């Protein structure tokens, strides 16, 4: 009896092993029964899903409010910065200057995203207006602007953006407001002389090569009557002859006109820039033969990085990191 049971158990084990042995020795015949779709499913199952951090980076986008229409659209962050550099700096500038511009623009974009959306911008993070934020060009606008040079210019700017994309500019562990302008008056300006708020890394630094820029100094001539009429919203009343209107003036060390007495009022260079469409607030005003001549030096608000200056530093062999550290006092450039 025991012998019979033993043989039955052995037989059962052998029969159970037959399918396994068949699969083992069938080799390519067994693999032939696996369809391409099966392979795809197996591969997908074995592939590790992206981490949450990777997924967030892949989806990172900024909400841009288009100045021309007021419409808001989400744009991948890298694509947005490419569009900003294309709108803000000549594509044939030295690569290190392009990288410095990309780093500054990227920092401003990340700061806008960190601050959140704005009702003023229709729920967007940032405007495409160069006067209120950063100029931004879509790919179509770049193609229209550059024509047959599009591939060359787009490739250069993309390279600059990708070079700096993993970096951020901080001061005391906080993202910096990396402002920039086209051309300084020979020295950049302290932020408090433009926006009434002192920012420790937005302090005046030397940028004397800006004086060699094309159209560094541009003058506007206005008849006395036109000059007086434009100042009426500020309360100006022309009670004297025009040659007596101009009084004392005060300038910053960087050349920004802080205050100018004109008859019964006092105005700043920023106000004159706004009223008369001047290129900067570093403006001199003189009276001559019935006309007022306003001469503005540089182009832009003068705070932070000079784009022309960045190009000149790059041509001297400076890296984008050195350019950033020159124009933003005491900042740290670090990997994210």
Render pLDDT for 28-77 as a digit per residue (tens, 0 to 9).
333 333 333 332 332 333 334 434 344 334 559 999 999 989 999 999 99
Q: Are residues 292 and 307 in the same domain?
A: no
- Residue 117 and residue 125 in contact, taking contact as beta carbons nearer than 8 Å: yes
The whole-number average pLDDT for the span 178-202 is 97
* Greater pLDDT, 5 or 242: 242
Q: Are residues 73 and 164 in the same domain?
A: yes
Q: Are residues 268 and 309 in the same domain?
A: no
Q: Are residues 256 and 318 in the same domain?
A: no
- Residue 201 and residue 304 in contact, taking contact as beta carbons nearer than 8 Å: no
Q: Are residues 316 and 252 in the same domain?
A: no
Q: Are residues 283 and 316 in the same domain?
A: no
Q: What are phi and psi of 332, to 5 degrees?
A: -120, 135
Taking 80 as the threshold, does the pLDDT of residue 14 lie above it?
no
Task: Determine the Cα–Cα distance for residues 262 and 249; give it in Å rounded to an integer.
Answer: 9
Q: What's the pLDDT score for residue 167? A: 98
Q: What are phi and psi of 253, to 5 degrees?
A: -65, -25
Residues in the chain, total: 336
193: in domain: no
Q: What's the pLDDT score for residue 48? A: 41
Place of tokens 């007022």: 292
Q: Are residues 113 and 85 in the same domain?
A: yes
Angle at 188 between CA 186 and CA 193, to 5 degrees: 125
Q: Are residues 154 and 247 in the same domain?
A: no
Strands 257-262 and 246-251, sheet pairing: antiparallel
Structural domain that includes position 260:
217-297
List, for residues 139-162, the tens digit of each pLDDT value.
999 999 999 999 999 999 999 999
Q: Are residues 328 and 292 in the same domain?
A: no
- Provide the 3-class DSSP secondary structure of residue 33: coil
149: in domain: yes
* Greater pLDDT, 190 or 130: 190
- Provide the 3-class DSSP secondary structure of residue 249: strand
Average pLDDT of every residue of the chain:
86
| Count of domains forming the chain | 2
Q: Are residues 276 and 326 in the same domain?
A: no
Q: Which residues contact 97 (CB under 8 A, 6 or more apart)?
A: 89, 307, 310, 311, 313, 314, 320, 323
Q: What's the pLDDT score for residue 6? A: 37
Q: Are residues 94 and 151 in the same domain?
A: yes
Q: Are residues 147 and 225 in the same domain?
A: no
6: in domain: no
68: in domain: yes
């Amino acid at each position: 009896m025991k012998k019979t049971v033993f043989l039955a158990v052995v037989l059962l084990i052998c029969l159970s092993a037959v399918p396994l042995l068949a699969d083992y020795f069938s080799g390519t015949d067994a693999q032939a029964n696996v369809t391409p779709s099966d392979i795809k499913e197996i591969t997908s199952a074995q592939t590790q899903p992206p981490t949450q951090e990777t997924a967030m980076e892949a989806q990172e986008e900024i909400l841009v409010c288009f100045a021309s229409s007021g419409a808001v659209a989400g744009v991948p962050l890298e694509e947005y910065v490419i569009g900003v550099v294309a709108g803000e700096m000549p594509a044939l500038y030295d690569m290190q200057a392009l990288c410095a511009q990309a780093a500054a623009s990227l920092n401003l974009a990340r700061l806008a995203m960190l601050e959140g959306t704005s009702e003023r911008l229709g729920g967007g993070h940032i405007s495409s207006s160069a006067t209120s934020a950063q100029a931004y060009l879509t790919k179509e606008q770049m193609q229209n602007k550059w024509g047959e040079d599009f591939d060359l210019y787009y490739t250069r700017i993309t390279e600059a953006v990708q070079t700096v994309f993993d970096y951020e500019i901080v001061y005391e562990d906080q993202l910096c407001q990396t402002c920039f302008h086209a051309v300084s008056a020979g020295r950049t300006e302290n932020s408090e002389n433009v926006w009434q708020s002192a920012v420790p890394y937005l302090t005046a630094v030397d940028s004397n090569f800006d004086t060699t820029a094309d159209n560094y100094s541009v003058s506007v001539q206005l008849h006395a009557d036109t000059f007086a009429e434009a100042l009426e919203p500020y309360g100006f009343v022309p009670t004297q002859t025009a040659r007596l209107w101009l009084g004392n003036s005060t300038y910053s060390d960087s050349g920004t006109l802080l205050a100018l007495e004109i008859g019964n009022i006092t105005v700043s260079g920023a106000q004159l820039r706004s009223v008369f469409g001047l290129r900067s607030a570093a403006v001199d005003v003189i009276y001559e033969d019935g006309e007022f001549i306003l001469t503005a030096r540089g182009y832009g608000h003068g705070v932070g990085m000079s784009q022309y200056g960045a190009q000149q530093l790059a041509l001297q062999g400076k890296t984008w990191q050195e350019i950033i550290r020159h124009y933003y006092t005491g900042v740290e450039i670090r990997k994210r």
